[in-house]
Amino acid sequence: MGTMNKQKATWSLLVLASTACSGSTDVGTPVPTKVEAFGGTDQSGAVGTPLLDSLKVRVTDADGNGVPGVGVTWSVLTDGGQISPATSTTNSTGAAATQFTLSPSEGDQQAEAQVSGLAGSPVVFTAHGHIQPLVPENIEAVAGDGQNGTVGARLLDSLSVRVTDAFGHGVPAVSVSWSVVTGGGTISPVSSTTNGSGVASAEFTLGPLEGEQQAQALVGGLTGSPVMFRATAVEIALSVVAGGNNVPERYSSDLWVHGSYAYSGTWGYRNRPGNVLKVWSLDASGAPSLVGSVTVPSIGTVSDVQVSDDGQLLVLSGERGDDGGIYTFSLGDPANPTPLGSTSVGERGVHTVTLSTINGRTYAFAAMNPGFSGDKTEDKPALMIYDVTQPTAPALVHREPIEPHYGIHDTFVRDGLAFVFAWNEGLIIYDVGNGISGGSPAQPVEVSRLLTAVNGVPGGRAVHNGWWFHNPVSGENRYLFIGQEGPIIVGSSSRGDIHVVDVSDLHNPREVAFFHMSGAGTHNFWMDEQRQILYAAYYNAGVVALDVSGTLSGDLSNRLLSQIKPGGSSKTFTWGVQLANGWLYAIDMESGLWQLKTE
Amino acid sequence: MGSAQSSPWMQLGAHGVLGYTAVDPIPGDRSLGEVRLVQPTIMAHAGIASNRLRMLATLNLEGLTIPDGELAPGDWGEGFVDRRHPHTYLHELVFTFDDLLGKADGSARVSMSAGKGFAPFGTDDPMSRPVLRYPVNHHLAQILERAVAMMGVRVGPLMAEAGLFNGDEPERPGQWPRVSRFGDSWSGRLTVNPVAGLELQGSHASVHSPEHRPGAGTDQRKWSLSGRWSGALGSFPVYGLLEWARTSEAEGFFVFHSVLAEGAWTLGRSRLYYRFERTERPEEERTLNPFRSLRPHIENSILGKTRWTIHTAGYTVHLQPVSVLSVLPLAELSYGRIANVGGGLFDTQSFYGKTSFWSVSVGARLSLGMPLHRMGRYGVAQDTANLRGMGHDGHHE
């Protein structure tokens, strides 16, 4: 640090005068950071001939945007092969390509793409050269199965199969027949030919009815044929059923629904301070009616609410007062939460709290805000882990400091992993009992971390909340959805995208997709995992439903299924959503608790 | 001080205002009155080497006398709302090497200054201006209490200043600038004196994360234009200031404007003064103490934006019971209107119970020894800082 300060001081003196005349700092120019394969991998071809498809790479910046104008050097690693051109330049999307001609030798052959200084370089491509014609033996699905789609609309992802020989090499130029099996949809083309990697694709347009529909790919005589593809036709149309405008004296905050009761927090100061937990009864039709309020003294905001899976324990977090912390309540009588215990962190408060049962004990993962004591270590925000198995006396079992880049906003805990959303520190994944890194609630072990893209949102990454999607259709636990909370004028405008991170390798999470809504920013999520639909509170844009089936990549703007502003244009600023009892409940800061239907 | 002095010199001074201020309304539709000692300052200025090496120091003791801030509707900043924040104990400590190049630069003069103080941006600190009440635009029109290093060049009627500093503003009186952040922000100011007594300035600043000390906050781009006149109408000293300021934060997501005009007219021992101000301010979420907003920030949100249109008029009379002590009894009245602009949850009517306010202050300025200087002017800019330029003793240049 001392060296850095000297450098800064020297620079300061040299450029003191000139800086005042410069207009701005580091605007616009993307800096390439990574190169990766973008097409042409795992091809097969006859020796001495060009591969069917070009080799392609893509160069991106730290935010995942393609960087144009970057030189890529191509070379052959196997004697006798040829590559042309030997250098190329990335286009406007960051992609560059070349053609690989195989050597006369049979077997695996390699070529590579190099961009000096970039992560991922060199990118190695392996192709299989054959002398005798390849004999197709097997066919399998490689993409497109298990998607959702709107009734009557084309699925977003193509259906794709790969044809291989007995040794797993892709077989080019095999004709694949496509047909619809159920649902009355259409598929196009009805016949396609495998490419250099042995892959063939078709587009499936769903029929007019909701529910599962099927299509198939057929190559006579191959093992695995026909390959069946399932898709679900959904019709999501969010609409208001009941509720709304039912907390006029306070702004509302978080929501949790359990059984026939709902609990919502209150925020800031309207005509009254946000020191109250609201208790709602849900009637047989799901409509909410307010049945009680519980005041928490010495806080100004009930920032988060959750009920345990067994419905016996409610925990809330408090901030904006002298006694910020977590508070536990018994739900022995769900209409009358009874205080059990609390633990205070003082004026700094706790922003969110998440319950999770690990090895038979119940823990509360609390996001403690940065402090103001003047002690740098003490003032750091932290993940506070409390054992609340005895909720009358929450016991702190671990404090994990987080760098004070605004701090930790939320935690999502599942399968013994704690996903910590730590603003400009990004995503941090801890093992708190999963076993992947030997961690426990008392001794969390960091598995990995990721800085998500800024996406042009003022204020930076602003990693705020998330949901780890366990997809029962695909059987994958691949995607983590992250909310970015950009700048906000509460009640009026907001910014911030949904970022999708592939965590199939938990040690190396990587961002793969995003959803952007112009003029609005996202907040808390709920997921209908069975139907593969993400519901996101979107502040001034209300509630948004997204199709998150299939493979997620790039811009997900075409996956918007439905949107609603429950309080209308003038009184909508939605904090959170939750699916329960077949209804979608939305809590809106201005207009209170709403009951919505999804179709 | 602007005059050359070949031998080492030092001047000392002290200043303060003891007064009663009453306001209606404060948050919650109540009224409140307080007796406070505000602006208690101790100043020391010194020079050696024919005045080429200078020191300017100002201690501010508001951390002791108004730890909860000064009652002032509309004022905001550093975690205070509707109360003006106490300044840090070391308000200024700036060392200057003036006339760096000697005769080598001909008629030009170059200076370098460094220390803790104001960045070269905007207008003079309100403490050294005639009106007691701080304007709402204090954090739009000045950048203060930073670790600064600046250069200045004066050529005839033109002057250019550029400086580097730390972006973080103080959060409490005892806090020092974060040295590790020095150089993450900069500003520049161009000043021209087309005729005697008239000073026109334009300045721009880029301030990194001013409201989040570790540096993760949003950045500000600030602009300021002003014209200042200090002279006389007939035999009566007159002072006038017209300023416009704009701050854009978070790449333009938050934008705040200010227009301010103020003037003072001195007749013998008496002085009349008036200020008009129309300034937008952010409405931040407050703690259970309605005069405090949340610090440290944990997100980039505000509840809305309000526009404060304020008229302030005052009267002082200059008494001098002994040669080194000035006493200026004063009475000051403000009336303002508050409007919601630009959306957001914040509702002026429900928060204050009204959309207008009154405040009145009575008390006395006390000044011992050297009078207040134009705070924020160092190096080549310092010689425009006639110690009595608009000081509170009733004299003008």
Q: Give the long-range contacts of residues A77-85, CB within 8 A, separation 24 or more.
A: A77/A109, A77/A110, A77/A111, A77/A112, A77/A124, A78/A103, A78/A105, A78/A109, A78/A110, A78/A111, A79/A103, A79/A105, A80/A104, A80/A105, A81/A109, A81/A111, A83/A55, A83/A111
Residue B313 is assigned to a structural domain of this protein: yes
CB contact under 8 A, B149 and A1: no
Does any domain span residue A7?
A: no
**Do both A380 and A291 map to the same domain?**
yes
Number of domains in chain A: 3
Residue B397 has pLDDT above 80, yes or no: no
- Residues A110 and A252 occupy one common structural domain: no
ipTM: 0.90
Same domain, A266 and A410: yes
Positive or negative: CA dihedral A306, A309, A311, A312: negative
Q: What is the mean pLDDT of residues B189-207?
A: 97
Task: Look at residue A337 and tell me whether its pLDDT is greater than 90.
Answer: yes
Q: Domain of A213?
A: 138-234
Cβ-based contacts of B255 with chain A (< 8 Å): none
Residue with tokens 């969110």: A352
Shared-domain flag, residues A281 and A363: yes
pLDDT for the residue B103 = 86
From the CA atom positions of chain B, what is the Rg in Å?
A: 20
- pLDDT score, position B276: 98
Cβ of A487 within 8 Å of Cβ of B254? The answer is yes
Structure confidence at residue B322 as a pLDDT band (50, 70, 90): confident
Over 70: is that where the pLDDT of B1 sits? no
Contact A574, A563 (CB under 8 A): no
Per-residue confidence (pLDDT) for residue B323, from 0 to 100: 84
Q: Is B216 in Cβ contact with A268 (below 8 Å)?
A: no
pLDDT band at B5 (very low <50, low <70, confident <90, very high): low
From chain B, the residues in CB contact with A276 under 8 A are none
Burial B172-203 (b: 16+ CB within 10 A, else e): bbebebbeebbbbbbbbbbbebeeebebbbeb
pLDDT exceeds cutoff 60 at A210: yes
Q: Which of B212, B251, B345 sits opposite A490 (nearest CB)?
A: B345
Which has the closest alpha carbon to A97: A77, A66, A74, A118? A74
Residues A228 and A154 in one domain: yes
pTM comes to 0.87
Q: Is the CB of A268 inside 8 Å of chain B's CB atoms?
A: yes
- % chain A with pLDDT above 70: 95
In a mutational test of the A interface, the residue from B151, B293, B300 whose CB has the highest number of chain A CBs within 10 Å is: B300
Among A204, A234, A264, the domain boundary falls at A234
Residues B288, A16: C-beta atoms closer than 8 Å: no
Q: Does A590 touch chain B (CB under 8 A)?
A: yes
Write the CB contacts of B212 (distance below 8 Å, at least 6 apart in sequence).
A406, B168, B296, B297
Among B154, B232, B163, B162, residue whose Cα is nearest residue B193: B154
Query: Would you place residue A63 in the very low, low, confident or very high pLDDT band (cuts 50, 70, 90)?
Result: confident
By C-alpha distance, which of A146, A195, A152, A189 is closest to A170?
A: A195
A584 assigned to some structural domain: yes
What is the greatest pairwise CA distance in chain B? 64
* Residue A212: closest CA among A139, A143, A145: A145
Domain count, chain B: 1
- Check A17 against B160: CB less than 8 A apart: yes
| pLDDT for the residue A24 | 36
Q: CA of B235, closest CA in chain A: separation in Å?
A: 40
| CA pair distance A312, B337, nearest whole angstrom | 52
For residue A5, the model assigns a pLDDT of 39
Q: Give me the mean pLDDT over the A585-594 stretch.
A: 98
Q: Are residues A377 and A393 in the same domain?
A: yes
Chain B contacts of A5, Cβ < 8 Å? 179-180, 182
- Domain membership of residue B331 (yes or no) is yes
Q: Are residues A369 and A415 in the same domain?
A: yes
Looking at the fold, whether A36 and A70 belong to one and the same domain comes out as yes
- Report the amino acid identity of residue B99: D
Considering only A404-413, B120-129, B383-392, which range has the smallest mean pLDDT? B383-392
Final residue belonging to a domain, choices A179, A203, A234: A234
pLDDT tops 90 at residue A372: no
Pairing of strands A510-515, A554-555: parallel
Which residue of B179, B183, B250 is in closest CB contact with A459? B250
Is the pLDDT confidence value at A236 over 70? yes
Question: What's the CATH code of the domain at A46?
Answer: 2.60.40.10
Identify which has the larger pLDDT, B169 or A22: B169
pLDDT band at A13 (very low <50, low <70, confident <90, very high): very low
In a domain, B332, yes or no: yes
The CA distance from B269 to B236, in Å, is 11
Asked if A273 has any chain B CB less than 8 Å from its own CB, the reply is yes
A361 interfacial to chain B (CB closer than 8 Å): no
Contact assignment for B343 to A492 by CB distance below 8 Å:
yes
Per-residue confidence band for A10, with pLDDT thresholds at 50, 70 and 90: very low
- Across chain A, mean pLDDT equals 92
Residue A23 lies in a domain: no
C-alpha span between A108 and A483 (Å, rounded): 43
Q: What is the pLDDT of residue B237?
A: 95
Residue B390 forms part of a structural domain: no
For chain B, what is the mean pLDDT?
Answer: 93
Q: Is B248 part of any domain?
A: yes
- CA nearest to A570, candidates A591, A592, A586, A594: A591
A42, pLDDT greater than 80: yes
The percentage of residues in chain B with a pLDDT greater than 90, rounded to a whole number, is: 84
Task: Please tell me the distance from the alpha carbon of residue A507 to that of residue A505, in angstroms, as a whole number.
Answer: 5
Q: Please report where in the chains the tokens 């960087």 appear, as a residue.
A: A67
**Residue A196 falls within a domain, yes or no?**
yes
Residues of B in contact with A491 (CB under 8 A): 303-304, 343-346
Q: Is A16 on the interface with B (CB under 8 A)?
A: yes
Taking only residues 201 to 230 of chain A, the set having a beta carbon closer than 8 angstroms to any beta carbon of chain B reads none
Average pLDDT over residues A498-523: 97
Look at residue A10 and tell me if it is in a domain: no
Whether A143 and A117 share a structural domain? no
Residues A153 and A205 in one domain: yes
Out of B164, B182, B344, closest to residue A16 by CB = B164
Q: Smallest Cβ distance to A487: which of B188, B218, B351?
A: B218
Q: B79-88, pLDDT tens digit by residue?
A: 999 999 999 9
What's the confidence (pLDDT) of residue A78?
A: 85
Domain with residue B257: its CATH number is: 2.40.160.10
**pLDDT at res. B383:** 64
Q: What number is the average pLDDT over the span B54-58?
A: 96
Which are the contacts of A284, defined by CB distance < 8 A and separation ≥ 6? none
| More confident position, B11 or A18 | B11
Question: What was the pLDDT predicted at A29?
Answer: 72
CATH number for the domain harbouring residue A454: 2.130.10.10
Read off the pLDDT of each residue in B147-164 and give the average, rounded to a whole number: 97
Q: Which residue has the higher pLDDT, A100 or B106?
A: A100
Does the beta-carbon distance from B288 to A20 stay under 8 Å? Answer: no
Interface A-B: count of C-beta contacts within 8 A: 162
Range of the domain at B127: 9-384
Q: Is residue A190 included in any domain, yes or no? A: yes
pLDDT classification of B391: cutoffs 50, 70, 90: low
Confidence of residue B2 (pLDDT cuts 50, 70, 90): very low
Distance (Å) from the alpha carbon of A514 to chain B's nearest alpha carbon:
21
Does residue A22 sit within a domain? no
Q: Is residue B3 part of a domain?
A: no
In chain B, what residues touch A460 (CB-CB under 8 Å)?
A: 216
- Residue B271 has a CB neighbour count (10 Å cut-off) of 25
Between B158 and B1, the more confident residue is: B158
Taking an 8 Å cut-off on Cβ atoms, the answer to whether A491 and B304 are in contact is: yes
Distance CA B246, CA B369 (A): 37
Instruction: Using the predicted structure, report yes or no on whether residue A125 has a pLDDT greater than 80.
Output: yes
Measured between beta carbons, the chain B residues lying within 8 angstroms of A269 are: 285-286, 290, 351
Contact B162 A374 (CB under 8 A): no
* Whether residue A347 is found in the same domain as residue A483: yes
Last residue of a domain, one of A202, A234, A266: A234
Interface test with A, best of B29, B185, B299 (most A CBs within 10 A): B299
- pLDDT at A23 (0 to 100): 36
For residue A1, pLDDT beyond 80: no
In a domain, B223, yes or no: yes
The pLDDT tens digits for B206-235 are 999 999 988 989 999 999 999 999 999 888
d(CA A330, CA A338): 5
pLDDT of residue A22: 38
* Per-residue pLDDT, A374: 67
